[in-house]
């Protein structure tokens, strides 16, 4: 049974722009977030408090948060990797929600965060406890849920273990990320079924990359298994710096087109979303990766 409504979580301003080779001006990020809010998106990742040495593209997150036009009912979460990042988030303007991230692959965890899965979970338990004590909501990400650039296929049980640990420490929602876009529909369904033994389906989100053109098919497949939250990125921005050849997140426009065509409500206006897509694509000097945006003529000037 497919859901009647789906919540779209817009990750372009963070997960998308952090993978740009150069830094995007603060004013451009603010304009993008404001347009995405105007389009009806109710969750918009606004940035991350990570080391500017490693991710200089996100160094201005505090400035972005101070400048955006906040809309009632819209959440602007930020990614936080450790206690230092949490302290920066708490010092910033209006942070009400953070996200922490773990991996289902031991090799990916070591190369991405320089620690084991278990050590990473222990770190996030401290961050989550401190954040919740301050009244912040915490979302959890699990990467490499359907494949790893170093290990290949990942067992669904490994994903379930990490997802369950994140829920146990207080994450209200778990985003399941196919970081390298290697998954296919039946594998995605099997993974969700395994995770659902530890985490209620209504607390799961899908986060698919489109490396092999499988993202929309995978989203539909997990929706059939009760997932009603989908992460997506305007104009198909993003990728994974640790996964060679991994293309961007599935484009928000493409997901919306599919859901609109199926009569599934999202509250997002396609025309306004295409405006946001065209704006950021023009700012980056390229056409959007979204097939829908290209078909509708929203190429960069």
Catalytic annotation, residues: 240
Structure tokens at 58: 């996100």
Burial class (CB in 10 A: 0-12, 13-18, 19+), 90: middle
Q: Residue 273, CB half-sphere, CA atoms under 13 Å: how many?
A: 28
Q: What is the 3-state secondary structure (H, E, C) of 112-125?
A: HHCCCHHHHHHHHH
* C-alpha–C-alpha distance, residues 183 and 214, integer Å: 7
- In whole angstroms, give the CA distance from residue 78 to residue 100: 9
CB-based burial label for 100 (10 Å; 0-12, 13-18, 19+): buried
Are 9 and 267 in contact, with CB atoms under 8 Å apart? no
Q: State the virtual CA torsion across 43, 23, 51, 55 in degrees, nearest 10.
A: 80
């Amino acid at each position: 049974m497919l859901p009647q409504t789906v919540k779209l979580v817009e990750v372009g301003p963070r997960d998308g722009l952090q993978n740009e080779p150069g830094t995007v001006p603060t004013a451009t990020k603010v304009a993008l977030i404001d347009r995405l809010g105007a389009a009806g998106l109710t969750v918009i990742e606004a940035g991350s408090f990570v080391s500017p040495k490693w991710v200089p593209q996100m160094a201005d997150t505090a400035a972005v948060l101070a400048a955006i036009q906040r809309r009632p009912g819209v959440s602007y979460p930020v990614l936080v990797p450790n206690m230092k990042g949490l302290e920066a988030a708490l010092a910033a303007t209006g942070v009400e929600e953070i996200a922490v991230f773990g991996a289902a692959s031991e090799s990916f965890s070591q190369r991405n965060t320089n620690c084991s899965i278990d050590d990473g979970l222990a770190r996030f338990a401290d961050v989550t406890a401190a954040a919740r004590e301050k009244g912040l909501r915490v979302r959890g990400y699990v990467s490499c849920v359907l494949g790893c650039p170093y290990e290949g296929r990942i067992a669904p049980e490994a994903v379930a273990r990490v997802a369950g640990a994140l829920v146990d420490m207080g994450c209200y929602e778990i985003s399941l990320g196919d970081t390298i876009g290697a998954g296919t529909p039946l594998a995605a369904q099997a993974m969700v079924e395994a995770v659902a033994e530890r985490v209620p389906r209504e607390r799961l989100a899908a986060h698919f990359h489109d490396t092999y053109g499988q993202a929309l098919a995978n989203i539909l497949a997990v929706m059939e298994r009760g997932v009603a939250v989908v992460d997506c990125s305007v104009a198909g921005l993003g990728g994974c710096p640790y996964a060679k050849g991994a293309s961007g997140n599935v484009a928000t426009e493409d997901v919306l087109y599919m859901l609109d065509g199926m009569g599934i409500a999202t509250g997002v206006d396609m025309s306004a979303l295409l405006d946001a897509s065209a704006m950021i694509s023009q700012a980056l000097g390229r056409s959007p990766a979204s097939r829908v945006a290209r078909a509708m003529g929203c190429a960069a000037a």
